[in-house]
A and B are shown apart, each in its own frame.
Chain A
Amino acid sequence: MSQPHDVTSPSVQDYEDAVRRYDPVLGIEVHVELGTASKMFDGAPQTFGAEPNTAVTPVSLGLPGALPVVNAAAVEYAIRIGLALNCEIAETCRFARKNYFYPDVPKNFQTSQYDEPIAFDGHLDVELEDGEIFRVEIERAHMEEDAGKNTHVGGSGRIHGAEYSLVDYNRAGIPLVEIVTKPIVGARERAPEVARAYVSALRDIFRSLGVSEARMERGNVRADVNVSLRDSADAAFGTRTETKNVNSFRSIERAVRHEISRQAGVLDAGGSITQETRHWHEDTGVTSPGRVKSDAEDYRYFPEPDLVPLAPSREWVEQIRAGLPELPSVRRRRLQAEWELSDAEMRDLVNAGATELVEATVAAGATPAAARKWWMGELARTAKSDGVALEDLPVRPEHIAELQSLVDDGRLNDKLARQALAGVLAGEGSPEEVVTARGLEIVSDDGALEAAVDEAIAANPDVVEKIRGGKVQAAGALVGAVMKATRGQADAGKVREIIFSRVEG
Chain B
Amino acid sequence: MAETSLTHRSAADLADLLRRGETSSVEVTQAHLDRTAEVDPAVHAYLHVNAEEALATAADVDARRAAGEDLHELAGVPIAVKDVVVTKGQVTTAGSKILEGWIPPYDATLVRHLRASGMPILGKTNLDEFAMGSSTEHSAYGPTRNPWDLERIPGGSGGGSAAAVAAHLAPLAIGTDTGGSIRQPAAVTGTVGVKPTYGGVSRYGLIALASSLDQAGPVSRTVLDSALLHEVIGVHDPLDSTSLTDPAGGLVDAARAGDLAGMRIGVVRELGGEGYQPGVRASFDHAVDLLRGAGADVVEVSCPSFDYALAAYYLILPAEASSNLAKFDGMRFGLRVEPEEGPVTAETVMAATRGAGFGDEVKRRIILGTHALSAGYYDAYYGSAQKVRTLIQRDFAAAFELADVLVSPTAPTTAFRFGEKVDDPLAMYLNDVATIPANLAGVPGLSLPSGLSDDGLPVGFQVLAPAREDARLYRVGGVLERLLTDERGGPILDRAPDLEVKA
Contacts and interface: CB of A to CB of B under 8 A. Distances in A.
Contact of A103 (B108, B207, B239, B346): B346
Interface in B300-351: 319-320, 323, 326-329, 331-333, 346-347, 350
A298 interface: yes
B232 to A, nearest CB: 19
| Residue among A67, A68, A103 having the largest count of chain B Cβ atoms under 10 Å | A67
Contacts of A106: 327, 332
Given A61-B332, A64-B207, A109 B323 contact: yes
Contacts of A58: 105-106
A302 B211 contact: no
A69 B241 contact: yes
B229 interface: no
Contact of A305 (B94, B320, B347): B320
A165 B326 contact: no
A64 B207 CA distance: 5
B229 to A, nearest CB: 20
Q: Chain B contact residues (Cβ within 8 angstroms of A): what range?
A: 35 or more
A107 interface: yes
Interface stretch (B48-56, B137-145, B258-266, B372-380): B372-380
Interface string A53-68: 0000010011111111
A66 B208 CA distance: 9
B347 A101 contact: yes
A107 B328 CA distance: 8
B382 interface: yes
B277 interface: no
A266 interface: no
Given A103-B346, A300-B373, A300-B375, A167 B104 contact: no
Contacts of B104: 63-65
Given A65-B104, A300-B373, A302-B382, A97 B323 contact: yes
Contact of B239 (A61, A69, A302): A69
A197 B181 CA distance: 58
B205 interface: yes
B326 A109 contact: yes
Contact of A68 (B99, B108, B241): B241
B206 interface: yes
B331 A167 contact: yes
A305 B212 contact: yes
A153 interface: no
B242 interface: yes
Nearest to B86: A65
A263 B81 CA distance: 62
B370 interface: yes
Contacts of B456: none
A108 interface: yes
A99 interface: yes
Contacts of B94: 64
B86 A64 contact: yes
| Residue among B104, B106, B242, B332 having the largest count of chain A Cβ atoms under 10 Å | B332
Contacts of A65: 85-86, 104, 106, 108, 204-208
Contacts, number: 93
Contact of A108 (B204, B210, B319, B329): B329
Given A63-B104, A99-B323, A103-B331, A302 B373 contact: yes
Nearest to B202: A67
Given A63-B106, A67-B203, A302-B373, A107 B319 contact: no
A103 B327 CA distance: 10
Q: Chain A contact residues (Cβ within 8 angstroms of B): what range?
A: 20 to 34
Contacts of B108: 65
A448 interface: no
Given A64-B208, A65-B86, A300 B105 contact: no
B419 interface: no
B22 to A, nearest CB: 38
Contacts of A167: 331
Interface string B340-367: 0000001100100000000000000000
A63 B108 CA distance: 12
B329 to A, nearest CB: 6
Contacts of A109: 323, 326
Given A97-B323, A165-B346, A308 B329 contact: no
A62 B333 CA distance: 10
B376 to A, nearest CB: 9
B102 to A, nearest CB: 8
A308 B378 contact: no
A302 B322 CA distance: 12
A308 B99 CA distance: 29
Nearest to A297: B375
B108 to A, nearest CB: 6
B240 interface: yes
A306 interface: yes
A307 interface: yes
Interface in B57-96: 85-86, 92, 94
A165 B346 CA distance: 9
A165 B323 CA distance: 24
Contact of A101 (B206, B241, B350, B375): B350
A213 B104 CA distance: 36
B239 A99 contact: no
A292 to B, nearest CB: 14
A5 B333 CA distance: 40
Interface in B226-274: 238-242
A70 interface: yes
A161 B346 CA distance: 13
B282 to A, nearest CB: 40
A109 B331 CA distance: 14
A308 B327 contact: no
A64 B86 CA distance: 8
A165 B332 CA distance: 13
Contacts of A63: 86, 104-106, 327, 332-333
Contacts of A69: 238-241
| Residue among B242, B320, B327, B346 having the largest count of chain A Cβ atoms under 10 Å | B327
Nearest to B237: A67
A165 B349 CA distance: 13
A107 B373 contact: no
A67 B347 contact: no
Interface string A274-309: 000000000000000000000000101110011110
Nearest to A66: B204
A72 B242 CA distance: 16
B377 to A, nearest CB: 9
A187 to B, nearest CB: 32
B378 to A, nearest CB: 7
A64 B321 CA distance: 12
B242 A300 contact: no
A40 to B, nearest CB: 13
A83 B204 CA distance: 35
B66 to A, nearest CB: 35
Interface in B380-437: 382
A159 to B, nearest CB: 11
B494 to A, nearest CB: 38
Contacts of A305: 210-212, 242, 320
B332 A307 contact: no
A62 B106 CA distance: 13
Nearest to A62: B327
Interface string A304-324: 011110000000000000000
A306 B242 contact: yes
Given A64-B207, A300-B373, A308-B241, 10 more contacts: A58-B105, A63-B106, A63-B333, A64-B99, A67-B240, A101-B350, A103-B346, A165-B346, A167-B331, A298-B374
18 contacts: A61-B332, A63-B104, A63-B333, A64-B208, A65-B104, A65-B106, A65-B206, A66-B204, A67-B242, A69-B241, A103-B346, A106-B327, A107-B327, A298-B375, A300-B374, A302-B373, A305-B320, A306-B242
**Nearest 8 CB-CB pairings of A with B:** A108-B326, A305-B211, A300-B373, A305-B212, A65-B205, A64-B207, A65-B86, A298-B375
